[in-house]
Each structure stands twice: as C-alpha cells, then as structure tokens.
Structure 1
Amino acid sequence: MSAPATGALTGRVIAVTGATGPAGRATLRRLAADGATVIAAGSDAQRLDAATDAVRAAVPGARISGQVIDLLDPQEVHDWADHLEAEHERVDGLFHLVGGWRGSKTFFESRLDDWDWLQDRVIRTLQHTSLAFQPALLRSSAGRYAMVSATAAHRPTAGGAAYAAAKAASEAWTLALADSFTRESASADGVPTAAAAILVIKALVTPQMRAEKPDAKFAGFTDTADLADTLAGLWDRPAADLNGQHLWLTAR
C-alpha cells in the first residue's frame, strides 16, 4: 500500500464543487499531490468516480473521496458541510468551481430563460455552498473560500448580458462572504484567519485543447494547471491580505 501523499497542504481538508469539470480535475490532482484531504463533489456519479480514480492513479496514496450532491438543494448542502466537519473535525477550504455559459449574438436576442439557467447554476449553487460552509471555515485556523469569475463581469458584452450579470452577482455575494470573515474571523491575537477570494479569468484552456490545436494561441486564456496552482497557493498568503481580493489570472 502506498504511503499517503505529503506536502504543503498536508492536514488540510478541502472540498471542491464542480469537481468533474476541467478546472475541478486539475484542482483535485494539485491538492492531492500537496497532501490535502480532498472531497470532490459533483452531480454525476460516473463522472465523479472517473475524476477521483484519475487522481488516485496520478497521485499514489492520495486522500480523496467523492460525494454526489445536488447543489440546488440548500438543506442537502448544509447537511454535507456539517457531515464533513464532523467526519474530519475541520474543513479548511471550499473551492466553488461550478461553471456554465449562456448567451446570444446580440443584446436584443438575449433570452431571459438563459438568465434563469445561469441564476441556478452560477448564483444559487454558490449561495448554497457559501452559506453552508461559512461557519466551518470560520472555525478553521485558516479557512479559505474561492470562486472563479470572468472578465465578462467587469467588461460585459452585448450578447453576454445574462452571463456577465450572473458573474457580477456571484462576485458581490462572495465579497459579502469576505466581509463576514473580516467581522467574525480572528485568532486569539485578533488577526483574521478566514478569507474569500475571487479568481478572474477570460476562459480556461486544457492540455487536451492545446494538443488538438497546436497552432492556436488561446490569447488571454488561463491554463487549468495555473488555476489549480493559484488555488493551492491560497494558504501561502495571510487571510488579511487575501480576503475580498480579485486575483486576476488574465490581463485586466
């Protein structure tokens, strides 16, 4: 039997939602390689098993498990957060990597049912995870919450009104979470211990995408490995310096 992975995140307990997507898979592997105990969450059991099995194959001794969960059910998410903290005696991080895009060619053609879909997938899921995990992250000695936003939230385009608005709303909600950490999170000497950060990208690119289009430049895109590195590095920065910050992984 292989020895558990050890590294900078050994002892940390980190949950990752949207774990079966490209960003999620890269992040699971990075966290496991650094020794964290990783809980991967997704809505599809087969995809979740494939994602966790891939990490175990790549990282001998990886501490990783999967949880099928409906992020649109607030009680189910709250119960999950409580269960993780009871089982592991702590939760140090929640990375919300649930994505999705809907848009149109022009502003006039924008469909409000696209907004409805984005409100559920982008906003509601983030609201449910942040509300459920905030108390546990406060109780951690170094709680971290992170979500992935997009340049669209800062520079909306005509056809992307619904998507830009959804991302902007998600950022505002996360900044409110950050304020709660400022007000409620402190060590014995008064130094904040928990932080919420917003990672801003234009779009993501995977190794497979680069292999399929070797001549493409993917200008401004963020490699999934770089996103994973940034997330794993959140514990390298003091909470007071990180909380409420936009971490730009593409040109502003």
Structure 2
Amino acid sequence: MKNSNGPLEGAVVAVAGAAGPAGRAALLRLAEAGATVVGADADPERLAAAVDAARYAHGGATVTGDTVDLLDLDATREWADKTEKEFGRIDGLVHLVGGWRGSPSFAETNLSDWDLLEKLLIRTVQHTSLAFHDGLLRSDRGRYLLISAAGASAPTAGNAAYAASKAAAEAWTLALADAFRKAGGEAGPGTAAAILVVKALVHDAMRAERPNAKFAGFTDVSELADAIAGVWDRPAGELNGQRLWMTPRP
C-alpha cells in the first residue's frame, strides 16, 4: 500500500545506481512511501528487473527506469531535464553508484583501482549534483543524498584508493550543501544535501553465500532504504551539510 499522508506522497525521486541491491531496496521503499521513483543505471537488464520488482510490490506506484551513462555529463543533464519535464518536478537524487577495490597493503596499491573508483565514486557524484542542482532548488523539499563509508574518515592501508574516493565524494557533496545554504539566504536552506555513512552494506544474497559470516557492523540494504526515505521527514535546515552516521564513528 502507498502511504497517502507521508512526506514523499507526490514527490519525484531519482535514484542513481538503481540496479544494485541497495538501489533495488531504495526503489521499493520510496515507492512504498508514495513517491514517483525514477531509477537510472548503466545495466539495462538489471535495471528493468529492479523497476519491475518495485512496481509489482506496490500496485499503483509509478516506478520507471532509464539507462544512463552517468560518466557523461551531457547524458546526466538530459536525464535530469527529462525527469523534471515528464513529472513536473524533481524532489530528490539518491546516489547509490558503488564500487570497491582494495589491496593487501599500502605499498601494493594498484593505481588502476583509483582510475576506476574515481569514475564510479567521484565523477558520478559530480555529474548528478551538477545536473540536478537547479531542479532540486526549484522543489519545496529537494534532497541530494550521498551514501558513503566510514572508511572515508578513517582510511586503512589497503583501502587508500577507496577511502580517498569516498572522502572526495563527501567533500563535493558538502560543497553542494553550502550552495544550497547560500541559495536559501536568511530564511535558511529549503533544499538539502546530506551524507548517509555506513561501515558496509549487506543483503540477503551475501548472507546466503556466506551463511557463517557475522557481517558485524554492516547495514542491511533495507535499513539503508528506510533511512533514505526518512530524510524527507527532517527539515532542510537541520539536514543540510550533515553526515548521518548509521555506524559508530571511527
């Protein structure tokens, strides 16, 4: 059943990286909360499956999918413009594009890992934030949400490329938050950019593959999806520029 009274009823929320486990959970939760949800991913087959699952789980929900190359700024802008034109508004961008590469030690870091992670974890944040900036400002409840990792604040030797990429993405998102703050003037921001911080994510397939693993401190993708939907429950001024910790601070 769709929520007819919640803050997401009538909202239009875009999800970047919608085909992965976290993306699928977010599509389901946002649709359940009453939002029109527009997913994007580079993998059309997995995206179609994710969209269908959310659509079927919540009869009557509007859930669509667009195959978008988020490494192409023009294509990302076209996606943002198309979404706002088609649905009349844009109230959120949830950034769930992920990726991980690590090494046994700092000295064994392979810089090709950085080349990949810079694209997945930084460039896609840059492109989505630039593409959706104006539309989110036009909303009365605009939210840009980055999902980050605790390792950005406490890098380990074997995760230099990953932690540095996440830290750069966080800094970029906080700069976006400052832009929203300045746009709000004396009244304060009406649009917010925030960061949800996890240690790592876990989903049912991971548990099935490793039934004896404890996944200590990991956040289930369904719990993350609840937290994503929950950002619309909080005032923009309280949310903007904040790191929202879902794991103990390192």
The TM-score range, normalised by the shorter chain, is over 0.9
Q: 2:181, 2:188 within 8 Å by CA — same for their partners in 1?
A: no
Greater displacement, 240-249 / 207-216? 207-216
Which amino acid is 1:238 matched to?
Answer: P
Task: Give, in angstroms, the shift of residue 185 of structure 1.
Answer: 3.0
Helix, strand or coil for the counterpart of 2:187?
Answer: coil
Instruction: Tell me which residue corresponds to 2:226.
Output: 229
TM-score (norm 1): 0.94
- Residues 58-97 of structure 1 mapped to structure 2, 5 A cutoff: 58-97=57-96
- Residues 1-252 of structure 1 mapped to structure 2, 5 A cutoff: 5-7=2-4, 8=6, 9-185=8-184, 190-252=187-249
Calculate the aligned-residue CA RMSD, in Å.
1.4
Aligned-partner Cα distance in 2 for 1:191–1:150: 28
Helix, strand or coil for the counterpart of 1:196?
Answer: strand
Which amino acid is 1:15 matched to?
Answer: A
Q: Which runs of 5+ in 1 are unaligned?
A: none
Task: Give, in angstroms, the shift of residue 211 of structure 1.
Answer: 4.4
Aligned-partner Cα distance in 1 for 2:154–2:188: 35
Aligned residues: 247
Task: Give, in angstroms, the shift of residue 213 of structure 1.
Answer: 4.2
Which amino acid is 2:45 matched to?
Answer: Q
Aligned-partner Cα distance in 1 for 2:243–2:162: 18
What do residues 47-85 of structure 1 show as CA deviations (whole Å, max 9, x unaligned)? 111101111221111210000000000001111111111
What do residues 205-236 of structure 1 show as CA deviations (whole Å, max 9, x unaligned)? 11333345444321110011110001101111
Helix, strand or coil for the counterpart of 1:185?
Answer: helix
Q: 1:138, 1:185 within 8 Å by CA — same for their partners in 2?
A: no
Q: 1:5, 1:63 within 8 Å by CA — same for their partners in 2?
A: no
Helix, strand or coil for the counterpart of 1:106?
Answer: coil
Which amino acid is 1:103 matched to?
Answer: G
Aligned-partner Cα distance in 1 for 2:17–2:159: 22
